[in-house]
Structure formats: structure tokens, C-alpha cells
């Protein structure tokens, strides 16, 4: 593991789990979804990140300090979540360290939860969820589950780095992207991504509470969204709207 980024285990980590990622990105889809998984599946903190690459910040919960990037888990699931926007220039070492850590715990698959910005989001009744994968077998598996594939286009942000690095090291990985607002917290999109995740992992995940708390989440998430926007603009996130120039 890189010296710049350390991941400290708090308890014994189960082997062979599926590792999920919920990082601040468009619509905060990943973070909202991750937060719901933690409460719905009663996940507990199993590890946390310690890195001088991150801003000098801790998160206080019930008066005690916590790292902004933590890993929660139970027997089958590990979930990496960030409670603060990750600076654009440190995304590579942060994501790579998490993947290396997951690999050292024999994680069988990595799945990142995120969104894809859609200009007419306000008018879309039924949100689509797209998938992109690190290899053909995973693509085949998600197609069989009836999911649409993100065939061509650009992907920017932590999930892009995750897919690329996993493909490089031969670790199965999948990214689920729900249509969402670019700059507004989108609990409905988070619910859609969770429904697809439940299908893929064959688990029960009730999203009704998440939808009920939609307005509260939108109000609470304003500040994290605002800071995420700043980082997204540094990453040139709007490139995801661009038409790719296919070079064969």
C-alpha cells in the first residue's frame, strides 16, 4: 500500500466480500446510496483511511473523531464511503489504495455507485441505470440481468479510475450509473441505482425510507454538493456530455 495513503483495519475483515464504493459525484448518488445501505443493512465501520493527501478534516459523530473516508461492512459486503468531496488531484492515489486494500482482503468484485448527468432530468419520469464493467464477463452478467450498457462516451471521476485500475489488475469491477441531476442531490437516482444493485447482488434492499426522506436529504446535502461541484469542475466533469471521437 502506498505510504501516502494508509487504511487501518478496526476489526477482522471478511474474505471474499463484494466491495462497494459511494463517493461524492454528480447528484451525490453514490454517497446517498451508500448512506442508505449502511442504515438498511446495519453495516458497521470496519476500517478507515488515514492520509495526508486529504484536507485537514475530521468528521465528528457523537463527539468522537472519524476519518472522512471509511469502510463499513458485514460478512458479505464492504462499503467505502466518503463524507466529504475528494480533491480532484488526489483521486488516483485514494481510489487505487482502496482497491489495493480490497484486493488484499480477497474482495471478489468491486461495484461503484454513481450517476450520469442528464440535462432534461426534471422531465424524466422513469430514470434509467446504465452499467460499465472492467471485463466482458461482467458485461454479459449485467446484460442478462436486463441492464443497459453505457456503450460509448466519457466517464470522469472516482468510478472511472476504479474501472480502469480494476481492468488493469484483472479484478472484476462494475459501475452503476443512474440518470441524475448534475449539481443537485438526487435521492430518486440513488434509489434507482440501489434497486439495480439489489438485483445484481441478489439481496433485499428496501428504498422506501430513502424516498420518504428525499426532501430532508436534499436540504442536508447542500453543502457537500456545493463542495463536490467545485471538485467536479476541476475534473472537467461536463466532458461526460461530450460526443467521443472514436479512433479505432
Given the rule CB under 8 A, which residues bind another protein?
Answer: 121-123, 181-185, 214-216, 218-220, 222-223, 225-226, 230, 234
Residue 10 or 222: the one with the smaller Cβ distance to another protein is: 222
User: From the CB of 223, what's the least distance to another protein, in Å?
Assistant: 6
Instruction: Report, in Å, the least distance between residue 59 CB and another protein.
Output: 12
Strands (E), the chain: 5-9, 18-22, 44-51, 59-61, 64-66, 69-73, 77-82, 109-117, 129-133, 148-149, 173-180
| Distance in angstroms (rounded) separating the CA atoms of residues 33 and 189 | 9
C-alpha cell at 224: 457537500
CB of 219 to another protein, least distance (A): 5
**Closer CB to another protein, 36 or 121, in the complex:** 121
Kindly state the smallest distance separating residue 55's Cβ from another protein, in Å: 13
Query: Closest CB to another protein among 202 and 215?
Result: 215
Neighbours of 63 (CB within 10 A): 5
Report the nearest approach of another protein to the CB of residue 58 (Å).
15
**CB closer to another protein, 133 vs 180:** 180
81 touches 31 (CB < 8 A)? yes
For the chain, the first-to-last Cα distance in angstroms comes to 36
- Look at strands 64-66 and 59-61 and give their pairing: antiparallel
CB 29 → another protein: shortest distance, Å?
Answer: 15
- Kindly list the distances between the CA atom of residue 242 and the CA atoms of 1, 104, 147, 190, 236, in Å, as whole numbers in the listed order: 35, 36, 23, 24, 11
Which residues does 245 contact at the CB level (< 8 Å), separation at least 6?
none
Residue number, 81 or 132, with CB nearest to another protein? 81
Rounded Cα distance, 241 and 177, in Å: 14
Smaller CB separation from another protein, 70 or 121: 121
Amino acid at each position: 500500500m502506498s505510504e501516502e495513503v494508509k487504511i487501518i483495519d478496526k476489526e477482522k475483515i471478511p474474505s471474499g466480500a463484494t466491495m462497494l464504493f459511494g463517493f461524492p459525484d454528480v447528484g451525490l448518488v453514490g454517497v446517498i446510496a451508500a448512506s442508505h445501505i449502511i442504515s438498511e443493512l446495519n453495516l458497521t465501520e470496519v476500517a478507515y483511511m488515514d492520509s495526508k493527501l486529504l484536507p485537514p478534516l475530521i468528521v465528528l459523530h457523537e463527539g468522537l473523531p472519524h476519518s472522512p473516508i471509511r469502510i463499513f461492512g458485514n460478512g458479505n459486503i464492504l462499503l467505502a464511503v466518503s463524507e466529504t468531496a475528494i480533491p480532484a488531484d488526489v483521486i488516483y492515489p485514494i481510489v487505487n489504495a482502496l482497491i489495493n486494500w480490497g484486493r488484499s482482503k480477497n474482495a471478489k468484485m468491486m461495484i461503484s455507485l454513481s450517476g450520469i448527468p442528464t440535462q432534461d432530468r426534471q422531465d424524466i419520469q422513469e430514470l434509467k441505470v446504465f452499467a460499465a464493467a472492467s471485463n466482458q464477463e461482467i458485461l454479459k452478467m449485467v446484460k442478462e440481468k436486463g441492464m443497459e450498457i453505457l456503450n460509448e462516451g466519457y466517464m470522469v471521476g472516482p468510478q472511472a479510475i476504479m474501472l480502469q485500475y480494476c481492468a488493469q489488475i484483472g479484478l472484476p469491477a462494475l459501475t452503476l450509473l443512474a440518470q441524475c441531476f448534475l449539481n443537485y442531490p438526487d435521492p430518486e437516482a440513488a434509489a434507482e441505482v440501489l434497486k439495480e444493485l439489489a438485483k445484481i447482488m441478489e439481496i433485499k434492499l428496501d428504498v422506501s425510507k430513502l424516498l420518504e426522506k428525499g426532501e430532508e436529504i436534499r436540504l442536508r446535502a447542500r453543502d457537500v454538493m456545493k463542495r463536490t461541484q467545485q471538485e467536479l469542475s476541476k475534473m472537467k466533469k461536463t466532458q461526460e456530455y461530450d460526443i467521443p471521437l472514436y479512433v479505432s
